[in-house]
Chain A
Amino acid sequence: MYISLAGFRGPDHASPDQAGPDHASPDRADSAPGPDHATPHPGPRSGRTVAFRVAPTVVALGMVSLLTDVSSESVAAVLPLYVTGALGLSMVAYGFLEGLHQGVSAVVRIAAGYAADRTDRPKAIAVAGYGLSMLTRAGLLIVQGFVGIAVLVGIDRVGKGIRTAPRDAMIQEVSQPQHLARSFGVHRMLDTIGATIGPLLAFVVLLLVPEGYRVVFAVSLAAALIGVAALILFVPNVRFSRATTPTSTTTPAAPVPEAAETSPAVRPRTLRSRASRSGSPRRQRWRTLDGPLKRLLVAAGVLGLLTVGDGFIYLAIMSHGHLDPLWFPLLFVGTNGVFLLLAIPVGRIADRTSRAAVLIGGHLFLAGAYLAAAMGGSWIALGLALLMLGIFYAATDGVLAALAGQLSPQGRTATGIGAAQTVVAVTRLVASTGFGALWVLFGAVPTMVGAAVVLVLVLPLAWWLVVRR
């Protein structure tokens, strides 16, 4: 069984002999899926096994993400040092500018996803996002003042917001449906490698060139440039729609009668020709968020409200007081290491069993990480916390994108993925703020244990929302 979500689509799932809801192709059973092959996903419980072959486009997108993460994380690692050391400003000024960008980035995600679906040019949108971030690197080399830097950081986040959903939708589109989560795992592994290399590279540069912050920015620009070049050269113009096959018989994702009433312009996708692909649907797009995807979003939101962020877990570990603060930056490296090692294997498990179950079950490890952080400052507790946090990311980050893409109606993949990521980003921000208050009131250990308990108690609800048939 490749997924237990087959019955998920409810009313949209019109007839049993139809292709999977995401992909309408009449020849699904006969076509041999290959890499980059937009095979419809097989019917539920088809039991058919297909050898995993990672799509070249996924690898290309992974390399683009790797280079971009090297670019952004190297800057992030030295920016505070640059602002204080080279510009002579205190971080107080920096702190007041933070927080503003977060909301913008979250909203941009869903908007960019929508735009990618609407235009059916996810690559173009992604290029715009990656390119915008690249331009901010060039800006860092020129801009002197603090305000300029703050603006550039803001624009960079917008770029990040723009590129994420179209990129994940492309991954979804070109991956073998049977191995969707594993394909996302490949991408997330490469992405995390970049995020780990970035800061290390930056510190190496500073070691070679004292106070060479601008050299770090130059390295960052070079990495971004190569990344964008790789994106343009090696990622094809992925199109979402399966409408190229005129024989396709899929029902539109939204109930037809209602659609016809509210917006006559919306035609069933199957009737859309290639030429009209980028034109038709209007507000109808927002129906994307209905049905099974809505249940996923609700579940992701509820779980997001109980995901308090790495910072707190590290802080709880440090609060036991046995660990030198010098170790602090290395905790991130530890979590990243586990994440990148397990991204593919866990994705594979998700594909073989149930993505929804892995997504929900992955939160057990988050609860475990909370408990380990509360346990004490021993090396065992520390190791356990980092390990479980890494597993949590491996089980949720790519898997959520895979699930959201899979549950989105045809042609609305990017919107669906963007919506899921927005929900998670916003609820986690809320969680951190609320959690902070509890932390002060009750202390680190009771709050951690409490969060773990509530999380475990909420999991059945999330399970019921997402995994039930």
Chain B
Amino acid sequence: MKDGMDTDAEGYLTADGRKIGGVLMEMRNITLRFGGVVAIKDISFDIREGEIRAIIGPNGAGKSSMLNVINGFYHPQEGEVWFRGQKRGSVRPYDVARMGIARTFQNIALFKGMSTLDNIMTGRLTMTKTGLLSQALWWGKAEAEETYHREKAEKIIDFLEIQHIRKTPVGRLPYGLQKRVELGRALAAEPKLLLMGVVMDLSDRVVVMDYGRKIGDGTPDEVRANPEVINAYLGVAHD
């Protein structure tokens, strides 16, 4: 790392004493262009196991573009994405989901016509093994699999305390509950990496972007003290 805190291959301890592991995902010199517009310019950073990593920046900085690169929606023109020690080739979003990357959105993206339970169960679709025919006949294996995933989904429903809306179509739920269902759906996938489109103040390390560039990377305190970051958010004083 050329800037930020000292992080070795084995990981580090957070301020509150949590153990952060080795590198889970690494973005290497990512550049993403839409025609002549450079959305992301030569950005590198890593995400470690057990770490809460934030990407912040003013409007239009390229945060969502970066998440979409991680998700496989956008394919960067330059740079490499490494996940769990392997270079990722050209992948589609559903391949990325299968690798263990889940996501929640800033403006909720639930399946409005389906119940809470069904929404959460969709999080487990990547783990379904039985085929079309055995499901059509509801043979022992298909039914056993359904029951197994249902048990997992019910644990998440218990954890998020949304038992009472289990069978309610999510389109009828208020915003806060929808947010919880969306988190439930992401958790049901048992992801190695969870991307969340929300601002939160719990991060271990923070990447700061502005106009597609990375302008800072480090602990929240380090980032807060970084003059470039202050300039990006508050503007430069001219006197």
Q: Are A and B associated in one complex?
A: no
